[in-house]
Amino acid sequence: MVLILLIATLFILPLILHAPQPESLREINTDNALQRAGSVSGTLLIGIALIATAAATFNAGGYDIAPQLQRLVALSPNAVIKQGRHYQIFSSALVHVNVVHLTGNLIMLALLSVYERRVGHGRFLMVFVVSALTSSLADLALLPDDAMSMGASGGICGLAAGFFLDHDEVTKPDWAKGLAGVLILVVFYSFAASLTVDGGIARVNWAAHIWGAVGGALYIRFIARRATERAT
């Protein structure tokens, strides 16, 4: 529990204390801590949910997930399809294998808070949710029946796609080229992640990362941006 509290502190404090400089040098940043927290409320909400889930599912030592809980909340095609545990489509995006897995995703989430500052917490949260669900559905279709998958990486890869692709007046060719670039980064991220876990490449769910990024990109291009255009 002490380790989880330390992780929570190291995740939350920098987000609240960091004060991005205004785009114009003539402006002065007068935001207080509450205003800064509000500008990254989506990031904080997701991060706190991930940390709270880790606290509830990790072993007493606080280093990795309890095996009996892993079978309940990690996504397994066999459990979802044959045993009716449909909640795993959602729960699997919140649970992590161990502290390293959790910390890596929290670092990426914190870095992507700059995307939330640009588009707002509503868009940010929707991109994460859509990407995480797309990732889970890809797992159901592609993983062996007895496999298990967990982690917020699919949603985070979708947020990365949003950071690069969610801009006004992006043409379809530029969007396609940008998505190709994002997928290259996701593959590199997946390979780097494989170096930090037991079992290496075999333990990293590459498809979940890729489909999470694709899901986020498609949502931004064909739903979120069009909704914004209709509103204006």
Per-residue pLDDT at 182 exceeds 80? yes
Give the residue-averaged pLDDT of 123-145.
Answer: 96
pLDDT, tens digit (0-9, with 9 covering 90-100), for 16-38: 988 776 665 556 566 788 888 99
pLDDT, tens digit (0-9, with 9 covering 90-100), for 1-21: 788 999 999 999 999 988 776
Locate all alpha helices (DSSP H) within 31-76, ordered by sequence: 33-39, 41-57, 67-73
Go through the chain and tell me how many residues it has: 232
Helix (H) or strand (E) holding 164, with range, is: helix 153-165
Decide if 123 contacts 180 (C-beta within 8 A): no
Q: Which pTM value belongs to this model?
A: 0.91
CA distance 157 to 172: 20
**Domain 2-231: which CATH class?**
mainly alpha
Split at pLDDT 50, 70, 90, the class of 204 is confident
Per-residue pLDDT at 184 exceeds 60? yes
